Amino acid sequence: MLFILFGLLIIVMKAEEGTRSRRGKRWKMEDKRTMDMLKARLGDENYRKLSRIDNQELHQFIARYVELCNPDKVFVSTGSPEDVYYIRQEAIRAGEEKELAMEGHTVHFDGYYDQARDKKNTKFLLPAGVDLGANINAVDREEGLKEIHDTMRGIMQGHQLYVLFFCLGPLNSQFSIPAVQLTDSGYVAHSEDLLYRQGYEEFVRLGKSVRFFKFVHSAGALDEEMTSKNIDKRRVYIDLEDETVYSVNTQYGGNTIGLKKLAMRLAINKGSKEGWRTEHMFIMGVHGPSKRVTYFTGAFPSLCGKTSTSMLLGETIIGDDIAYLRKRDGVIRAVNPEKGIFGIIHGINSEDDPLIWKTLHSPDEIIFSNILVTEEKGVYWIGKNEAQPTKGIHHSGEWTPGKRDAEGNEISLSHPNARFTLDMRLIENLDPELDNPEGVVIGGIIYGGRDSDTKVPVEESFDWVHGVITMGAALESETTAAALGKEGVQKINPMSNLDFLSIPTGKYIEDYLNFGAKLRNPPPIFSVNYFLRDSEGNLTNDKTDKRVWLKWMELRSHHEVEAITTPTGHIPKHEDLKRLFREVLDKEYPNKDYVKQFTVRVAETLAKIERVMEFYKTKVLDTPKIVFEVLEEQKQRLILARENYGDYISPNKLSFTKKV
């Protein structure tokens, strides 16, 4: 009997060996066909560059979209200075960018109706039976792939395809995610060269073992202004299963620069599975006493002060937009997956933003988009504190004051969502830890939004859970020009990340709560609000006051100043702020300003809690129970405080409460 079983085992093993052999031969034949096709389409030099990367999956991916999209020419970039320069010059030659008067500066215009992230047509491709929740815009995976592939068939005819390799995060780091971008836009390729670390040599080094994100973009047919023509067919599809993003018939960076918010969606999903976090956060160093540097992350919706906070005078910046967070040895460490800034230029001026202002006026490589170009080939944007030009060229063509579009809307001198793109090495306050493969230890987390009548300028949560729920999950802000749709509408935006979630919202919050559960010393969580107004509609603080709020948060993170306990968190004592205003801004801070800013607005805060609870009851069906419990506790504290002090509680009335 044993002899018979042994014989059967040998037969099975030989059969499996034969199957493996046939499969191996088939794979080799497929790989040979792939490489032969690529050699014919790429030419000797570009083929040589690509063949240095020993990864069959990569070769087949590139071959598939070369065949499908059918570009006239393919350029493979190694990230060398020569290849990067070639891409920049091709963007100019093709008319996607135009040179400006200052050396190194170029301008790009998106189409008039292609100026922001297209939330409606940005969809996840999900297999049957997979549901990420009501807040996730999704389409059936098979249907979506068929539609996007049909749209992409032959779409690059007459165009040049750029094959680009990058690394999200510092090189050779546990944070790193290799990525490959295919695009027929020189502007997109040039932008990514400025924004991301070159990754070609990482692909070569890792070879067969490399696991990577994939991005395919085509601007589609272009009009005489070299802008995307068929924006009615604009699509941005995200395939989580294959970690691939498709973007077509659009040029605006938020829809096309794949490694930015599109890669962020892939990374959120990946991080949720692996126990780390991808957040819509800046990373900055706040400089405290005795040359101490404390690193903070901060999440703010667009046009809420995120970039200006991370670029404050006297502090240092690691990143202005996205952060990868991991737990190491009981603390949170973070890196910036980017190395450049794709920033909103609206409102930047020499007084409030001296560092970025100086950079934008220096002769180095900067792409401006959707600003006004003057007759002298200078640039102008909304909020620039210089004499306003009376004519120029921008995204609508020739512009003069009072010009209106086809719908009768007056066209501003630059688009509210106009941008600048640059490498962070140009910035004077760049933090030396930008490329540290270990990341930096996070000493505090900040959430900020636009709130005209409720939130105080700065407040600390009671603990990690309280902060995640009442400051992060409850983050509410006005909509802005960074996304298509009506502006000025109050919306709840958990952690300023709702637009980019690739997991159910309840799961995202649960992951967040768990992330801090076993930390040795969870960083304190703060909220800030630069937009609080008085009864006459005037802002209660100056733009530069945020420098003081940051210094107070830095001291609090080291338990070096006390705070006043309110029903919603800890706020600064007047005497501490008075000292900091004098030290940091050399100005007085009278008690009347303190009272105006830090009064607890009970009725408004209770109304906010009701809006938040309604959002989670109706929009997030998988909300963790603890969210409602913590919000209800906050509500009851406010009701009790109102019974004792009324609807508006001066911080001076709370001064007798226990200091912490």
> Annotated catalytic sites, by residue?
304
Q: Residue type at 100?
A: L
Give the DSSP letter string of 467-502.
HIIIIIIT-EEE--TTBSS-SS-EEE-GGG-GGG--
Q: Classify residue 483 by its DSSP letter.
A: B
Instruction: Compute φ and ψ for 327, nearest 5 degrees.
Output: -90, 130
Nearest to 479 by CA among 289, 301, 647: 301
CB 190 within 8 A of CB 181: no
Two tokens, residue 266: 């892939």
* Radius of gyration in angstroms for the set of CA atoms belonging to the chain, rounded to a whole number: 27
Q: Exposed/middle/buried for 285, CB within 10 Å: 0-12, 13-18, 19+?
A: buried
- Angle (CA) 179-183-184 rounded to 5° is 165
Partner residues linked to 99 by β-bridges = 106
Nearest to 370 by CA among 346, 391, 404: 346
Nearest to 182 by CA among 148, 160, 219, 215: 215
CB 183 within 8 A of CB 160: no
Q: Residue type at 230?
A: N
Long-range contacts of 637-641 (CB under 8 A, 24+ apart): 637/567, 637/568, 638/567, 638/568, 638/600, 638/602, 638/605, 638/606, 638/609, 639/606, 640/567, 641/566, 641/567, 641/600, 641/602
Q: What is the dihedral of CA 426, 429, 435, 441, to 10 degrees?
A: -160
Residues 566 and 599: their CA atoms lie apart, in Å, by 10
Q: What residue has token string 């009442």?
A: 470
Residues 527 and 447: their CA atoms lie apart, in Å, by 5
Nearest to 219 by CA among 209, 229, 210, 211: 229
Q: What residue has token string 């034969």?
A: 18
439 CB-near residues (< 8 Å, 6+ apart): 170, 173, 175, 324, 326, 328, 333, 334, 335
Q: Residue type at 647?
A: D
Residues 260 and 407: their CA atoms lie apart, in Å, by 32
432 CB-near residues (< 8 Å, 6+ apart): 316
Residues 641 and 655: their CA atoms lie apart, in Å, by 14
Two tokens, residue 108: 């790009």
Q: What residue has token string 């790009």?
A: 108
Residue 422, CB half-sphere, CA atoms under 13 Å: how many? 27
CB 196 within 8 A of CB 339: yes
Two tokens, residue 48: 């040589």
Q: Exposed/middle/buried for 636, CB within 10 Å: 0-12, 13-18, 19+?
A: exposed
Nearest to 570 by CA among 600, 546, 533: 600
Q: What is the dihedral of CA 34, 39, 41, 45, to 10 degrees?
A: 140
Find the helix packing angle between 186-195 and 81-93, rounded to 10°: 140
Q: Classify residue 321 by its DSSP letter.
A: S
